Amino acid sequence: MVSCTTADLDIDEKHAGKWDCPECKGQSNSSLAIFEFLGYNPTVIEAGTPKSAKQARADMEAGKEETEDLNSAQRARAEMEAEKAERKADGYIRGEFLASVEDAKAADVILDVGSHYGTIHIKGAIPLYWEELLDENNNPKSAEEMAEIFGNAGISPEDSVVIYGDCEPCDDISVAPFVFWAMRYLGHDSVQVLDGGLDAWTSAGQPTERVENARPAVTYTPRVRSGLMADYEGVSSGDLQLVDARVLRDFSADKIAGAIHIDYSEVLTGGRMKGSDDLDRAFSGLDEERPVVVYSYAGARAAMVWLALQLMGYESSVYSFNDWEARRPPVKAILVSSRADPNPAPPGPVKIFATFDVVPDEADSMPEFSEAEGSDEVTTTETVEEAVFEDGGIDDIGPAENLSIETNGSIVSGAEIEDIISNATSMEKPTAKTMGCVACFDPILLYASGSNPSEITSGVKLGSIGGSALAPITAAGALIQDSEGRVMATIELVPTLTDEYLGTWDATGAPAGAYNVTLAAATGGKTSYFEDVLTIEIDGSAPAPTAPTAPAATDGIRKLGKY
């Protein structure tokens, strides 16, 4: 390395101004040259208080510079160093959003937004249950409606507010961040979440009570920060980073395309927000320079992850998955293929396989049932509109009770099929489980040695989590009837690692004869029915199915499948 000084080099005034080496300009001594070249002086950092990132950004916008010689790269470096110093000092970029017990004691209003207010609450706290901020579709209400609710609770935009509270029906998660988000959205500045909630308060020996408190109503005038609430158009544009904060089960069943999974619990430890280092790791898959949208069903779980992102300085907003489900294009399930094994079969277990696909439902049509008696392949059907619970149960809201299916003289109504299939049980037992990355982008198949992949249920095909671009199949079932139309069995069909759905009919006591199978699959809030798509022959003279060959014993560790 060559050290330069004004005595060593003959640089004219014209060219000297283009050099960034302070010593070449004759402005510094060699011991500090490298630090000044990088844009800061270590003696200043040690002696004084570093400028906050917020102030550094404000100074940049105002055109201020610490020295006349700093170029844009040096100023950016100085700003980055100041931001790092601030994060190290308090752990977060926006640490003021979390309140300590002492902060809560000094607040104008302590707001209990949970479901335990009547049992115990912080002395002096007023109640405002978080669900009051949701509309009939479980989406956040409009800014005007929320402002009226806060005003009726006696809160004005000038009040300092500290929020806490858990929702017992919501697995006792903290819903304080959701109300914090709502108040920030309305433009409230002096609002915080009590870190650790009621437990932190009582652990500090502070008083509690059961007496209900109230404040006189006031007028709350909002100053909406529209950037804190995402909308369908923005989320579906593909331009934003998306984080799904729902539980993994829901994320694996359905998600918005491109979303990654960060569970509510991943940003907490012992009921308190994790430190900045842990949050950095939790958000390692995100780009700090791009906006982030966090969603959950109503927004409660999303708000906790959003708060953590805010603490770390991310530009972030909240969205309701309920809104996404209501607005996304209609879809329907189609049956690609179906089969039974064995068929013909002796009395005993019979496995029923079905493959479904999800396609756009451009007509969003009225119900019509497909008929393909004796066939093992159907590619079109119409749909019945109805709601599907998270666990795959079906909630009747459509006109299915006015529909019927005629099957060889016997009538089974659409409503009966819905009820029968939605309450069907499964004989399938999990035969493969995998752990590891459940949000990978490249599919990885792991199969148990000696197993048929089409019969492995409850395993994980890595890379398939939430992989449908349209919507997933959320529930599937089969209805089995004899030649007289009597219902012999209803079974649940569960997904296998080959994307087939599998159910087992125990036909041990079934008389010889032909049995018709009607299949059903739910997606996008609708269920499609496929009438008489498969015929199973029960024949006492049929050969018994061959038992699968047991895998040879092996020692050590084997590489399973393809990865």
For residues 482-496, give the mean pLDDT.
Answer: 92
Rg (C-alpha) for the chain, rounded Å, is 31
According to the model, what pLDDT value does residue 188 have? Answer: 98
According to the model, what pLDDT value does residue 539 have? Answer: 93
Contacts of 131 (CB under 8 A, 6+ apart): none
According to the model, what pLDDT value does residue 335 have? Answer: 95
For residues 198-214, give the mean pLDDT.
Answer: 97
Over the chain, what is the mean pLDDT?
Answer: 75
Res. 52: pLDDT tops 50? no
pLDDT-derived band at 375, boundaries 50, 70, 90: very low
Can you give the three-state secondary structure of 153-215, one letter per residue?
Answer: CCCCCCCCEEEECEEHHHCCEECHHHHHHHHHHCCCCCEEEECCHHHHHHHCCCCEECCCCCC
According to the model, what pLDDT value does residue 79 have? Answer: 58
pLDDT-derived band at 341, boundaries 50, 70, 90: very high
Lowest mean pLDDT among 88-97, 351-360, 430-439, 484-493: 430-439
pLDDT-derived band at 202, boundaries 50, 70, 90: very high
**pLDDT tens for residues 387-398?**
333 333 322 222
pLDDT-derived band at 214, boundaries 50, 70, 90: very high
**pLDDT tens for residues 249-262?**
888 878 898 999 99
Cβ–Cβ under 8 Å, residues 69 and 27: yes
For the ranges 52-66, 399-413, 418-432, the one whose mean pLDDT is highest = 418-432
Res. 516: pLDDT tops 60? yes
Where is pLDDT greater, at 18 or 203? 203
Where is pLDDT greater, at 459 or 333? 333
pLDDT-derived band at 27, boundaries 50, 70, 90: very low
Cβ–Cβ under 8 Å, residues 365 and 382: yes
All domains of the chain in start order, with CATH? 95-327 (3.40.250.10), 330-361+471-542 (2.60.40.10)
Cα 99-184-157 angle, rounded to 5 deg: 90
Residue 491 identity (one-letter amino acid): I
The closest alpha carbon to 73, from 125, 47, 37, belongs to 37
Long-range contacts of 553-561 (CB under 8 A, 24+ apart): 554/449, 558/449, 560/446, 560/447, 560/448, 560/449, 561/445, 561/446, 561/447
Where is pLDDT greater, at 79 or 532? 532
Tell me the Ramachandran region of residue 430: left when phi exceeds 0, alpha when psi lies from -120 to 50, beta otherwise: beta
According to the model, what pLDDT value does residue 417 have? Answer: 54
Burial class (CB in 10 A: 0-12, 13-18, 19+), 409: exposed
Q: DSSP state, 146?
A: H
280's enclosing H/E stretch is helix 276-282
Cβ–Cβ under 8 Å, residues 496 and 488: no
